[in-house]
């Protein structure tokens, strides 16, 4: 199996090189075939220049870009050029421990979709109380509305290549695109599993906030009943 690791970026020039080199060093130790695709969705801070330079110097690193803002646009651009039998979303801040990559690749021999889940009973999660509360509230509402039976829809996401067709949620919503992916996959009869992860995310500049999270509610209702 070959795994295409899709790494979404938006204005991450300050951390991209160091973290991508760390990720690349980890991937070189894996026994399965792999590639890393940096998926840019409209960066304006030089992220693209850094990514293209690294793609020229690091083996199996590639760069894809969509000028439209929104993580789904960048990930679809990466998926279009991916060569792998499977794909996985992995954050450039590396807040999820790299061990989930190998676990996900192994799980895809038995499952269609594998989620690195903060809600798994064996997961180790180090995040602020506010982030944990907002995440749990969102996932509880998602389960109520969509009936997925998934404890965490916002973790890492790995899937077999034939599931890439579910990356169709249009727009620039950084949260709901993954929920839409899972909902479509579930309705298509795809087998989904949750895996334990180690998460450490105490960023002071968190892009998650109470008002922004509350604004998700009407969008979720529109997606479910619209």
CA dist., res. 32 & res. 57, Å (int): 21
The SS3 call for residue 138 is helix
Q: How many CA atoms lie within 13 A of 130 on its CB side?
A: 10
What pLDDT was estimated at residue 199?
95
Residues in the chain: 226
Range of the domain at 133: 2-225
Encode 61-73: b = buried (16+ Cβ within 10 Å), e = exposed: bbbbbbeebbbbb
pLDDT of residue 214: 77
pTM of the model: 0.92
pLDDT of residue 211: 53
From first to last of its 226 residues, the chain has per-residue pLDDT tens of 999 999 999 999 999 999 999 999 999 999 999 999 999 999 999 999 999 999 999 999 999 999 998 888 999 999 999 999 999 999 999 999 999 999 999 999 999 999 999 999 999 999 888 888 888 999 999 999 999 999 999 999 999 999 999 987 645 567 788 999 999 999 999 999 999 999 998 654 444 555 567 788 998 999 899 7
Taking the C-alpha atoms of residue 142 and residue 3, their distance in angstroms, rounded to an integer, is: 28
* 191 token code pair: 């087998």
- List, in sequence order, every residue forming a beta bridge with 212; answer none if it has no partner: none
Copy the structure tokens of residue 56: 């020229």
Measured N-to-C along each axis, helices 129-146 and 216-225 cross at an angle, to the nearest 10 degrees, of 20
Going by the DSSP 8-state scheme, the letter that residue 203 receives in this structure is: -
- 102-139 b/e (C-beta count within 10 Å ≥ 16 → b): bbbbebbeebbbbbbbbbbeebebebeeebeebbeebb
Instruction: Check which CATH number belongs to the domain holding 40 and give it.
Output: 3.90.550.10
d(CA 155, CA 87): 14
Euclidean distance between CA atoms 109 and 55, whole angstroms = 29
- Number of domains the chain contains: 1
- For the residues of 156-199, what is the DSSP string, one character each? EEEEEGGGGGG----S--TTHHHHHHHHHHHHTT--EEEEE-EE
């Amino acid at each position: 199996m070959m795994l295409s690791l899709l790494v979404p970026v938006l204005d991450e020039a300050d951390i991209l090189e160091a973290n991508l080199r760390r990720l690349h060093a980890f991937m070189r130790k894996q026994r399965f075939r792999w590639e890393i695709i940096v998926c840019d969705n409209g960066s304006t801070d030089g992220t693209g220049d850094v990514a293209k330079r690294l793609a020229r110097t690091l083996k199996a690193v590639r760069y894809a870009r969509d000028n439209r803002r929104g993580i789904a646009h960048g990930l679809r651009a990466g998926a279009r050029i991916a060569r792998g039998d499977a794909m996985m979303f992995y954050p450039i801040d590396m807040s999820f421990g790299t061990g989930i990559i190998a676990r996900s690749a192994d799980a895809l021999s038995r499952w269609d979709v594998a989620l690195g889940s903060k809600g798994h009973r064996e997961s180790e999660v180090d995040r602020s109380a506010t982030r944990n509360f907002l995440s749990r509230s969102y996932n509880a509402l998602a389960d109520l509305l969509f009936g997925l039976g998934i404890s965490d829809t916002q973790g890492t996401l790995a899937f077999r290549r034939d599931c890439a067709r579910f990356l169709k949620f249009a727009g620039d919503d950084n949260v709901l695109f993954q929920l839409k992916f899972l909902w479509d996959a579930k309705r298509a009869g795809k087998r989904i599993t949750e895996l334990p992860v180690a998460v450490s995310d105490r960023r002071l500049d968190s892009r998650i906030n109470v008002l922004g999270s509350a604004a998700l509610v009407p969008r979720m209702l529109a997606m479910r009943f619209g």
